[in-house]
Structure 1
């Protein structure tokens, strides 16, 4: 039975079409695959990138697309709109800063242990296989300071599992410094191709400009690949509370200090713009003044609503000593989930709220969380792997192995 072709929207500027199509074809493993192309005459002419995104949106309305592949757009607003379009349509999108493939000697994956880990590593593996070069994982750690929110770095079992499941042999690069983009730039070789994930939904809607990908594009002269994968339909706490968005064993007795710590943690993970600290803290405290978000199970779920935002951002702080959060029964609060959600009705927020509440009503869950030393241990308590649905993946066509030539 003949399988249907893969439908791709390919955006490229004059002079880069060959490079972009070559990469698109490397992801298209069947000769009958169809590519829908949109070419931009010149990125130097104002409005061209915006027009290309508009044409892509019209194409997505009339054609069932499977994938978007685009040259890296200099217009950050156009870049933001194209990623947003991919998210709306549930499409994976890959952005490529074009280079001479013959000069690439290594693929480097900069991952913050976020929700796109599997997709990022798969993209790195396929690209590395096509170029015949190795893959490295780059871990960044901020310079240690007296911030009470900082905790020791812990190994990420999900990352190890991902590498093992994909059958990859990788090396790890460690770098540190207060500036993420500068630290990454200083750790790369001239022949490295950097693979990164898309910004969080909040940063995507707020402004792509000055997000981590945009910062890296300005600081790193290397070729880059950016992946934006569609959100999962399943409400997953693992997708929300990745990396160190869970902070165990914090010590504070004041509600304001605890909320400030959690807002800072969202900013540290680039879930909120760095200049939003005062506004976010003010919104959270204003919500608490209306009525305490503390529940009678040692748990509080403070909530910040933002107009124009889609999705949910979250962080959890575990305070073994307890905080006076204003619970009705007067019991101290030891578990504080800070959620950032859209203004008005949000089905995803209600689903997340329900899932957190059900887990935290269980005394055994709370006892186990108090004993956790790392974020990795805590997420295993909040959402055991046995409770997860089967993993959703990209279209099967992308993962179908290329047939090996018949033996002569």
Structure 2
């Protein structure tokens, strides 16, 4: 190839992909370019929040490159979807190196995932990289910028759950043919007993048979939603989790991390004040490293 193009979302798989791409570029003597998408539905050039989001993504990506001791140009591209800007920038003589999907998509539903759609649309070779499985699942490895929604305004908790399942479908974290199964599981669990856990937080979840890991998203509701919490407290922070039905080994530590995150009043206030998803992920990582 004449160039190696690395689209990154900042996760573990993408980090390993960056390292491999860097090693290959040195060995082959070819250019290395890093691409990160700032997902935004409108992409208005005069939007100050979008400009802030792009700056934060640039700083985050440059920090990751610095930690990996990689020198490469970084292009931050605002776009309404993830796939189109990658396809547009991939030349016929390039090699695209990207991180794998979550384990469920990787093991059972690769078709229709982000790597699969990119591979089917570009005219060059694609290398998908999967990091080794960590002993401990961190909250920041489950949630990334594109699975975090700010300024969320559902009509009630049932609408909130449905919208969040649709978010996971939209971001290709779950296959579209499994949407109803996931939604039914989440709604059935919510009917069984409310998932509000106090501290203005609810954790609706969908137990899925044979799910190989945890998939999740976070929505922040400024007005709050009634999840039937203690003392009629409204929930501002909604974590939707898809969990293995038969195995709580990964799930319980994640619940503990959420509880530690949202317990302090100042952290909840900081989450409400976040203007971009990058600010949310920074809070998650700070809590894990603190």
TM-score bracket, normalised by the shorter chain, equals 0.7 to 0.9
Shift of 1:142: 5.8
Seen in structure 2, the aligned counterparts of structure 1 residues 209 and 252 have a Cα distance that, compared at 3 Å, is closer
Partner of 2:176: 274
Query: Across the two proteins, how many residue pairs are aligned to each other?
Result: 281
The within-5 A match list for 1:217-296 is 217-296=119-198
The DSSP-based 3-state class of the residue aligned with 1:314 is: strand
Question: How far apart are residue 180 of structure 1 and its match?
Answer: 4.8
For residues 94-109 of structure 1, the aligned pairs below 5 Å read 104-109=1-6
**Which aligned pairs between 1:197-216 and structure 2 lie closer than 5 A?**
197-216=99-118
- 1:121 corresponds in structure 2 to 18
Q: Which residue in 1 is equivalent to 2:32?
A: 135
1:360 to 262, 270, 273: 262
1:239-388 mapped onto 2 (5 Å cutoff):
239-384=141-286, 387=289
Alpha-carbon distance in structure 2 between the residues aligned to 1:177 and 1:371: 24
Between the aligned partners of 2:264 and 2:40, the Cα distance in structure 1 is: 37
Spell out, residue by residue over 1:337-388, the C-alpha distance to the aligned partner (whole angstroms, 9 max, x if none): 0000111222111110111112222222212211111222223323416726
- Alpha carbons of structure 1 residues 308 and 139: separation in structure 2 relative to 1, 3 Å: same
Name the TM-score, length of structure 1 as normaliser.
0.63
* Structure 1 alignment gaps of length 5 or more: 1-103, 146-150, 389-408
Flag the structure with larger Rg. Answer: 1
Q: What is the CA-CA distance between 1:285 and the residue it aligns to? A: 1.4
Q: Which runs of 5+ in 2 are unaligned?
A: 43-48
Alignment pair present for 1:158 and 2:73: no
Deviation of the 1:295 alpha carbon = 1.5
**Aligned-pair distance for 1:314?**
1.2
Q: Which has the higher helix share?
A: 2
Residue 173 of structure 1: how far off its partner (Å): 4.3
Q: Secondary structure in 1 aligned to 2:174?
A: coil
Deviating beyond 6 angstroms after TM superposition, the runs of 4 or more aligned structure 1 residues are 176-179
